[in-house]
Chain A
Amino acid sequence: MLDIHIRFARGDFVVNVQQKIEAPVTGLFGPSGSGKSTLLGLLGGFIKPDSGRILLDDVCLFDGIKKINLAPHLRRIGTLFQDGRLFPHLSIRNNLTYGLNLLSLEDRMIQLNEIVEMLELSDFLDRRPHELSGGEIQRVALGRALLSSPKLLLLDEPLSSLDMRLRQQILPFLKLIKDEIKIPMIYVSHDMTEIKYLTDDILMIDAGRIVT
């Protein structure tokens, strides 16, 4: 599914990853500064690798030799960010449908009402992001990312800004997504219990390299 061979260096810091990822959910575990977020940036197209190749379902996202570097919006890779990043000027409904509306009908794998039901969002639809709590924001952000029907979903420490109680509330939703919607996910965290709750396929990253 995902085939990564990339090298990226900035000063002394080098990310060098050669990895095939096949599992429905892959946990990416590593201490801060190990290159987790950089790797996600490289996959999402926000950082350009120095050399190498990235293939997603046989679509070439990046190839240093053939000079291919697909723009982020063409990669079909969704990201759930740590801080939600809901658009403050749009209602929750319009936030959710932002990516969905950009897709042609046949590309839409999931419909709004399915997500609203699954993530229990029906009470918020007409509200604005500032009226929601941290946990609710992350649920909406997750729904929004899923509705853009990505071929791969990157979760960049999505629970790290939430307290323990809220984490326990959101984790079952993530598990539900994993079981119900077959979108492959890479789940980045520095909390091993969180990762283990979702998957046994775990990659360790340290100093820019995958170590297991």
Chain B
Amino acid sequence: MVIGQKGVFWKVSFRWFGSHSTYSSLLGSQGLIGHWLKQEFGITIAFTWVGAAIASAVMGFPLMVRSTRLAMSQIDRKLEMAAQSLGASPWRVFFTITLPLAVPGIVTGLILAFSRSLGEFGATITFVGNIEGETRTLPLAIYTYTQMPGGDMIAMRLVMISILIALSALIVSNLLERRMAKKMGRI
């Protein structure tokens, strides 16, 4: 729940402040947060791959939160009560009962977020640009090659790679889910 609310908060906040100038003024190397991060940890976000990863994470996070929340809300509260009656503190109940039972939902969320970031375009190009070898993600590369004369074939190859990655993610998620369901006797 806490994660969920935070997730929504961040999402809304990012929408609210979602202009390029805000990103740069906050996270750019001269910006409020960006400057502090560079000073304290030596991390540069703006126009680096770290920034691209953060942009993707921010856009994909709500999807993960949603399915995790759904999975947790479907867990039988009676099982948590049983664990408490056996002497488990609320934290222990969370980590030994609630969380493991929510794993299939969390995995689904991870795959959704991953797929979302595989197609992430807007936030990346706005925030960290399209720098070859640094922030050029698959979608940005596809875009770049379709804008180039004679780049269609390369773009097509990249599209194929993108599809392959998405498919493999889906297959892995299905396999994991099946394994969990089998373990708990749902199939």
Which stretch in A70-78, A159-167, A187-195 binds the other chain?
A: A70-78
Q: Answer whether residue A98 sits at the interface, using C-beta atoms and an 8 A cutoff.
A: yes
Contact of B79 among A76, A78, A85, A99 (CB under 8 A): A85
Q: Are B79 and A98 in contact (CB under 8 A)?
A: no
A44 to B86, CA, bound (A): 11
**With A85-B78, A85-B82 as given contacts, are A130 and B87 in contact (CB-CB < 8 Å)?**
no
Q: Are A79 and B82 in contact (CB under 8 A)?
A: yes
Q: Are B185 and A145 in contact (CB under 8 A)?
A: no
Min distance, Cβ B75 to any Cβ of chain A, angstroms: 10
B residues contacting A by CB (< 8 A) are 76, 78-79, 81-90, 92-93, 96-97, 100-101, 183-186
Please give me the residue from chain B that is nearest to A141 by CB atom.
Answer: B82
Q: Are B183 and A89 in contact (CB under 8 A)?
A: yes
Min distance, Cβ A59 to any Cβ of chain B, angstroms: 14
Q: Are B78 and A131 in contact (CB under 8 A)?
A: no
Please give me the residue from chain B that is nearest to A81 by CB atom.
Answer: B82
Contact pattern, A 57-98, Cβ under 8 Å of B = 1, otherwise 0: 000000000000001110011110101010111000000001
Residues from chain A with a CB closer than 8 A to the CB of B92 are 73, 102
Contact of B86 among A78, A88, A129 (CB under 8 A): A78
Min distance, Cβ A37 to any Cβ of chain B, angstroms: 12
Q: Answer whether residue A128 sits at the interface, using C-beta atoms and an 8 A cutoff.
A: yes
12 contacts between A and B (CB under 8 A): A71-B89, A73-B88, A73-B90, A73-B92, A77-B85, A78-B85, A85-B81, A87-B79, A87-B82, A102-B86, A102-B92, A145-B86
A30 to B78, CA, bound (A): 23
Q: Other than the known A88-B184, A98-B88, what 8 A-B pairs have Cβ atoms closer than 8 Å?
A: A72-B81, A72-B85, A73-B89, A78-B85, A79-B85, A83-B78, A87-B83, A130-B184
Q: Answer whether residue A144 sits at the interface, using C-beta atoms and an 8 A cutoff.
A: yes
Residues from chain B with a CB closer than 8 A to the CB of A129 are 185
Residues from chain A with a CB closer than 8 A to the CB of B93 are 73
Q: Answer whether residue A103 sits at the interface, using C-beta atoms and an 8 A cutoff.
A: yes
Residues from chain A with a CB closer than 8 A to the CB of B78 are 81, 83, 85
**With A102-B87, A148-B87 as given contacts, are A88 and B101 in contact (CB-CB < 8 Å)?**
yes
Residues from chain A with a CB closer than 8 A to the CB of B90 are 71, 73
Q: Are A148 and B86 in contact (CB under 8 A)?
A: yes
Min distance, Cβ B39 to any Cβ of chain A, angstroms: 44
Min distance, Cβ B86 to any Cβ of chain A, angstroms: 3
